Chain A
Amino acid sequence: MNDSIMPENKMDDLKFRRSIYADPTSQDDEIIAAQNSDPARKQLAQELCQFDEKLKQAMQVPVPEDLCSKLLLRQTFASHQQEKRKSRVHLALAASVTIIAGIVVSYLQFSSSYTNVGDYALAHVYHEQSAFSNNDNNRVSLVSLNKKMTAFNGSFSESMGELISADYCRFDGMKSLHLVFKGLTDTVTVFIVPKKEHLAFTDKFSDEKLQGESLGFKHANILVVADKNESLTKWQRTISDNISWSS
């Protein structure tokens, strides 16, 4: 090899060799100048460039023909999986929403939105206001009233007034007896409600039109709701005097 050091060259041989071995295609001005000033160096650079070409050829190992399509296929599957996961999440979400909706609906249907008996009684009376009137001619006998009272283990000894209607109804989800009496100016509603704890007991309640009073008995609460012309105390007294409870 060319080991002679030529003093006219700025770059020494070792440095040139290191540089050209590190990068045969170097466009560094100093390297180019060094090559141009010395044919032996130029030849070395050319040899190394050729050698790089051979190396490049050798390095270009054949790429599996199906690799490209494999990569694309695999990605398609991967994002399909992702989509599937997403749709599963959507399905789960939809299911959860349905379940929650169901729970809410049944909760609203079967549970009270009222916090005390008074509010509920008033709402109930307003709801059925149109169904009864003080002028109804229909009367219910004491016998059939007492038949219905057996459900509450109670009975009335004598008629407490003109009973227009006596029917079981749902009093905030509880089976209750709903009595409608003829009152002074409008009907008087009496609820016989089983003792349950989910509504707070309120002994007196009213709004601008109606008033109500409840009394707690052994097996049931009895609520009287009427307009403000009625004496509820009188009604409650009549009821208490008349009612008797078996067992």
Chain B
Amino acid sequence: MKVFGNKKTSAQVLNTEPSKNSNSMATKQIRYEALVKALHGDLYRYGYWLTHDKQVAEDLVQETFLRAWRALDSLKDEKAAKSWLITILRRENARRFERKRFDMSEYEEANIMDTQSTSTEQEIENQWLRDKIAQLPPEYSEPLILQVLGGYSGEDIASMLNLNKNTVMTRLFRARNQLKDALEKEPEKMRLIHE
């Protein structure tokens, strides 16, 4: 896609092929800024659910975007940007484990986000659900996050996680099933599902 003129929408910017740009550095900068603005929130949340730690999630997102900047020319399709970034973030997270090997398997309640002191009923519900999501085994919670938060289909998730689709669907079933079991153990929360 060749773009004439100076005014570029972010979609055009993201879609511009670097090889055709006379001023590739400036265009790269614009593409990068568009990417950051559009997707940093999704990526941060994904990082948060992967690590259950605000600070680590932020670091991961920073690393991810830094790598994305370096490899930006390889991103050709704007629609693929988000899953491309998620893939980078997952790789960064894996690297973090290789580097530090600190034990994240033990879920610590204190780490899970405690949102503001404005404890509305809504917030209490959210917090309860967050705890339950965080208690899911990571192989169940990750596809669930990608599906619910990322809006990805079973096929998309399968290809992002290098799994076959049946495995992904089974894990999604188990994830929701476990959450529902947790609800049933606490009858006062049942309205979450029945409301």
Binding site for B on A (CB under 8 A): 18-19, 21-24, 47-48, 50-52, 54-64, 67-68, 70-72, 74-75, 78-79
Contacts and interface: CB of A to CB of B under 8 A. Distances in A.
A70 B48 CA distance: 17
A22 B149 contact: no
A22 B36 contact: no
Interface stretch (B59-67, B75-83, B95-103): B59-67
A59 B179 CA distance: 14
Contacts, number: 105
B176 interface: yes
A19 B172 CA distance: 9
8 contacts: A18-B170, A23-B172, A59-B130, A59-B145, A61-B45, A61-B49, A64-B54, A67-B41
A71 B44 CA distance: 11
Interface of B: 29, 32-33, 36-37, 40-41, 44-45, 48-49, 54, 58, 61-62, 65-66, 69, 113, 115, 122, 125-127, 129-130, 133, 144-145, 147-149, 154, 169-170, 172-173, 176-177, 179-180, 192-195
Quick one: which of A21, A24, A58, A79 has the most chain B CB within 10 A?
A58
Contacts of A62: 113, 115
Given A54-B125, A64-B58, 11 more contacts: A21-B172, A21-B176, A23-B172, A57-B122, A58-B126, A59-B49, A63-B40, A63-B41, A63-B45, A70-B62, A78-B66
Contacts of A61: 45, 48-49, 113, 115, 130
What is the predominant secondary structure among interface residues of chain B facing chain A?
A: helix
A57 B177 CA distance: 19
B168 to A, nearest CB: 8
B32 A54 contact: no
B127 to A, nearest CB: 8
Given A47-B193, A58-B130, A22 B173 contact: yes
A82 B45 CA distance: 30
B133 A22 contact: no
Contacts of A71: 36, 40, 61-62, 65
A7 B179 CA distance: 30
Which 6 pairs between the two chains have the least Cβ-Cβ distance?
A58-B129, A22-B172, A22-B169, A21-B173, A22-B173, A63-B41
Contacts of A56: 148-149
A75 B32 contact: yes
Contacts of B193: 47-48, 50-51, 54
Contacts of A52: 148
A51 B195 CA distance: 9
Contacts of A19: 169, 173
B173 A18 contact: yes
B98 to A, nearest CB: 23
A20 to B, nearest CB: 9
Given A54-B129, A59-B49, A75-B69, A67 B192 contact: no
B51 to A, nearest CB: 12
Contacts of B58: 64, 67, 70
Given A57-B126, A61-B115, A63-B40, A23 B147 contact: yes
A219 B74 CA distance: 74
Contact of A78 (B54, B69, B113, B170): B69
A1 to B, nearest CB: 10
